[in-house]
Amino acid sequence: MRSIEVIVNPSFEKGIKNGNPLLYKEALLNVSGLEEGQIIDIKNKSKQFLGRGYFGIQNKGVGWILTFDSQTEINEQFFERQLLAAIEKRKVLIQQENTTAFRLFNGEGDGIGGFTIDCFNDYLLIQWYSKGIYAFKEMIIQALQKCMSFSAIYEKKRFDQKGSYVEDDDFVIGKRGEFPIIVKENGMNYSIDLNDGAMVGIFLDQREVRKTIRDKYAKGKDILNTFSYTGAFSVAAALGGSKSTTSVDLANRSRAKTTENFTINEIDLAAQKIIVEDVFHYFKYAVKKELLFDMVILDPPSFARSKKHTFSAAKDYTSLLKEAISITKKNGIIVASTNCSTFDMKKFKRFILDAFENKPNRYEIVEEFQLPADFRSINILKESNYLKVVFLQKK
């Protein structure tokens, strides 16, 4: 494919020279008429070559630089090299028997912004974040077939006008699976369905957090898991010997999904509560009933809306944390987590400080997590390392 020359705004030139591959809308001066998937050569006003990439509109920007070498062509061989390098970096995970679900390729962290590949047993899931990268689908699939064996590939297209999931048949190639399937994560079982809408049943970036809850904090404790989705944290807590778990989520299907995950791990349901309710309503109920927990897990979506509440992590996390503090026992643990990419760990810790400001309690940070090793990120692009998890002990 022939590349088209695009001139960069001088104020963005330094960032590109320092290795930032993300092309912001304001960075490119002549993009009118460009089609998504078009290969572009980024040059400065002096016509000096800065990088080669593609034009593709997504929530992060309008494209990605894929190489800073003018001699490198963007073709199937390019994708094959990048995929092989990513697979080599996951060799230890691939060989593990007690973990069969992980990220195989993480976008810009592995050299190609705009898509990711997750591995679930021998099924692969590609998530596409722009029509631009989707234009290279055939090349990427062919390259992937040369790099490794698999039963089938599924996909999620996340590039409609609002940046959300595009409803479609998610099967791509191979032998269709019979879902749900059971995957392992550090010996724990989780139910996965790759062909059931936008979500699959687990957030893989929280693998180390779940293991830590199971191995270090759960034994003998009463644990509240809010925004619980399919109860993955609750499963980890129960397998770690918790006294009880309470899982709260607004989605109706969370009850069946969480029950399924408990069942496949042979967990006694008698000590597990599953509540379908607005989390903010539940906080009020817990305060009224004077309920207290040894651990409260907060892992809300970056943005959520219910009939009576709208939540934005960037604006409302401090208020949410205040609610959690009020129902956490003295010396109890709050797991404060967010995947919002618009602020960093330093600002997140400021939210925590603000939440305790007018409280009689102090706190101590006892654990911190960001993305696990398979979710590779690049330092120069701060939003690339989006996950922030802090374990707080309430004093």
For residue 198, tell me if it sits in a domain: no
H or E stretch at 284: helix 279-288
Backbone φ, ψ for residue 216 (5° rounding): -120, -25
Residue 291 lies in a domain: yes
SS3 category, 110: helix
Domain housing 118: 76-185
Q: Which residue's entry shows tokens 């693998």?
A: 207
- Is pTM beyond 0.85 here? yes
Among positive and negative, which fits the CA dihedral 254, 258, 259, 261? Answer: positive
- Do 326 and 375 lie in a common domain? yes
Q: Domain check: are 63 and 80 in the same one?
A: no
Count of domains for the chain: 3
Sequence-separated (6 or more) residues with CB below 8 Å from residue 142: 76
Domain boundary among 21, 38, 67: 67
User: Which CATH number belongs to the domain containing residue 280 in this structure?
Assistant: 3.40.50.150
240 lies in the same domain as 223: yes
* 178, 288: one domain: no
Out of 158, 185, 212, a domain closes at 185
Q: Looking at the domain assignment, is residue 197 inside a domain?
A: no
Kindly give the confidence (pLDDT) of every residue in the chain, 395 residues in length, as a single tens digit, with 9 standing for 90 and above: 789 999 999 999 999 999 999 999 999 998 888 999 999 999 999 999 999 999 999 987 999 999 999 999 999 999 999 999 999 999 999 999 999 999 999 999 999 999 999 999 999 999 999 999 999 999 999 999 999 999 999 999 998 655 566 667 799 999 999 999 999 999 999 999 999 888 999 999 999 999 999 999 999 999 999 999 999 999 999 999 999 999 999 999 999 999 999 999 999 999 999 999 999 999 999 999 999 999 999 999 998 777 777 888 999 999 999 999 999 999 999 999 999 999 999 999 999 999 999 888 899 999 999 999 999 999 999 889 999 999 999 99
148 & 34 share domain? no
For residue 194, tell me if it sits in a domain. Answer: no
In a shared domain, residues 129 and 152:
yes
What is the rounded distance in angstroms from the CA atom of residue 393 to the CA atom of residue 395? 6
Same-domain pairing of 179 and 88: yes
State whether 217 and 315 are in the same domain: yes
- Separation of alpha carbons 192 and 195, rounded Å: 9
Give the closest residue to 42 by CA, choosing from 75, 4, 14, 72: 4
Residues 246 and 146 in one domain: no
Amino acid letter, 98: N
In this structure, the answer to whether residues 333 and 228 fall within a common structural domain is yes
The DSSP letter of residue 28 is B
